[in-house]
């Protein structure tokens, strides 16, 4: 058992990266995640690592690309507008199969938007974001402890599958403080990085590129990526349920919104309403089968998001019109209260949906 400390979400991410053996951090300031680069600028020199403040998110994410080419465990963090600027490097890294960890402490959009917590980058994170046929592994923590644990997991998954992994948080998770247990993770059995460009000593040269001018070869490459994504989808689905076994109304929510939804479940249960929660933790791969199974006995599903409704599309794909899928969301950095979610539950129950 490790040490128990009170930490801010953003700092927990940074310390988790250090615990995971990340010794290279490149980033650019943007609210509401500045505690991460600040923490790293202080902490990296202490552990013999490198902190570098890039001239932009574009450059920072390409520094990540370079460090990943050199075989390092590397991370960058940002918030929504900055993550948009990184999409170029993300697509290149997915194409060149480079492991890295990206953190998006999401704020309200579109455009410059605001700085309050939001879940409006779900599409960008899970459906592409950059150009081309590729997938990111996307993990959605809902507590400071989970921010820490999933950040460590993210580094292992990145190395295991040679793929960028994104932690999708939000301003609330990043800014709040909770007790966390710092624990070293047992060393995973990960493939050696024989592909890394570290100098062609006693071996033929290594080349890392996402260029493939021959469409026959590019299709073959993409099909190989598709096989990898299928393997990830088979092996890395993560979710949790709460009082879902007998739920007539099944809430589906992730991240911060799942905490609010869980509070709504508790109040609903006190009022005798059979309400439960399904919380996807891996947003890609999305837990389609698990959700379908969990929702089997429910009469209705209510998706709650801090957006105009993005994850709901995946929920519908899982439920396949077998029952009504309702939505409650707030947008622009507004946060729903448990009471609002409860009101929505009572409304749809009353309407006989």
For other proteins, the closer of residues 102 and 265 by Cβ is: 102
Interface pick for other proteins out of 5, 6, 56, 339 (rule CB under 8 A): 56
Residue 209 near other proteins by CB under 8 A: yes
Residue 199 near other proteins by CB under 8 A: yes
Instruction: Extract the tokens encoding 205.
Output: 């040269």
Task: Give me the sheet containing 137-139, strands edge to edge.
Answer: 50-53, 24-27, 74-78, 100-106, 164-170, 137-139, 282-284
Residue 62 near other proteins by CB under 8 A: yes
Between CA 112 and CA 31 the distance in angstroms is 11
Interface pick for other proteins out of 17, 67, 173, 265 (rule CB under 8 A): 67
Q: CA nearest 89: which of 164, 1, 181, 201? A: 164
Among the residue ranges 33-41, 50-58, 108-116, 229-237, the one whose residues contact other proteins (CB under 8 A)? 50-58
Contact by Cβ (8 Å): 190, 160: yes
Contact by Cβ (8 Å): 306, 114: no
| Bridge partner list, 276 | 250
Residue 70 near other proteins by CB under 8 A: yes
Binding mask 9-48 for other proteins (x = CB under 8 A): ---------------x-x----------------------
Interface pick for other proteins out of 74, 102, 237, 295 (rule CB under 8 A): 74
Instruction: Extract the tokens encoding 72.
Output: 């390092």
Residue 52 near other proteins by CB under 8 A: yes
Q: Please count the other Cβ atoms lying within 10 Å of the Cβ belonging to residue 244.
A: 22
Contact by Cβ (8 Å): 63, 102: no
Which residues, numbered 81-110, are part of the site for other proteins (CB under 8 A)? 88-89, 92, 96
**Strand-strand pairing, 3-8 and 177-182:** antiparallel
CB of 125 to other proteins, least distance (A): 20
Contact residues for other proteins, defined by CB under 8 A: 24, 26, 50, 52, 54-56, 58-60, 62-72, 74, 88-89, 92, 96, 197-202, 205-211
């Amino acid at each position: 058992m490790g040490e128990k400390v009170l930490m801010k979400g953003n700092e927990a991410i940074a310390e988790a990266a250090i615990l995971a053996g990340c010794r290279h951090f490149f980033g650019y300031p943007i609210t509401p995640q500045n505690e991460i680069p600040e923490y790293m600028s202080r902490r990296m020199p202490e552990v013999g690592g490198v902190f570098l403040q890039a001239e932009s998110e574009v450059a920072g994410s390409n520094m990540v690309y370079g460090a990943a080419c050199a075989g390092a465990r590397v991370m960058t963090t940002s918030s929504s507008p900055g993550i948009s600027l990184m999409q170029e490097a993300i697509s290149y890294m997915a194409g060149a199969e480079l492991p890295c960890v990206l953190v998006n402490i999401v704020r309200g959009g579109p455009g410059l938007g605001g700085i309050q917590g939001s879940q409006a980058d779900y599409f960008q994170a899970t459906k592409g974001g950059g150009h081309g046929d590729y997938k990111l592994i996307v993990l959605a923590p809902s507590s400071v402890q989970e921010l820490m644990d999933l950040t460590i997991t993210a580094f292992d998954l990145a190395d295991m599958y040679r793929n960028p992994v994104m932690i999708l948080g939000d301003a609330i998770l990043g800014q709040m403080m909770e007790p966390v247990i710092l624990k070293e993770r047992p060393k995973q059995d990960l493939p050696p990085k024989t592909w890394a460009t570290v100098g062609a000593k006693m071996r033929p040269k290594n080349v890392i590129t996402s260029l493939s001018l021959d469409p026959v070869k590019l299709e073959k490459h993409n099909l190989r990526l598709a096989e990898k994504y299928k393997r990830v989808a088979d092996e890395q689905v993560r979710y949790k349920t709460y009082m879902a076994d007998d739920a007539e109304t099944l809430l589906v929510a992730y991240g911060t919104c799942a905490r609010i939804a869980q509070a709504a479940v508790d109040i609903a249960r006190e009022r005798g309403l059979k309400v439960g929660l399904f919380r996807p933790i891996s947003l890609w791969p999305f837990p389609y089968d698990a959700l379908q199974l969990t929702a089997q006995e429910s009469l209705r599903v209510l998706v709650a998001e801090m957006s105009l409704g993005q994850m709901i599309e995946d929920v519908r794909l899982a439920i396949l019109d077998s029952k009504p899928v309702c939505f409650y969301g707030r947008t622009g950095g507004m946060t729903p209260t448990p009471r609002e979610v409860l009101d929505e539950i009572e409304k749809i129950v009353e309407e006989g949906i």
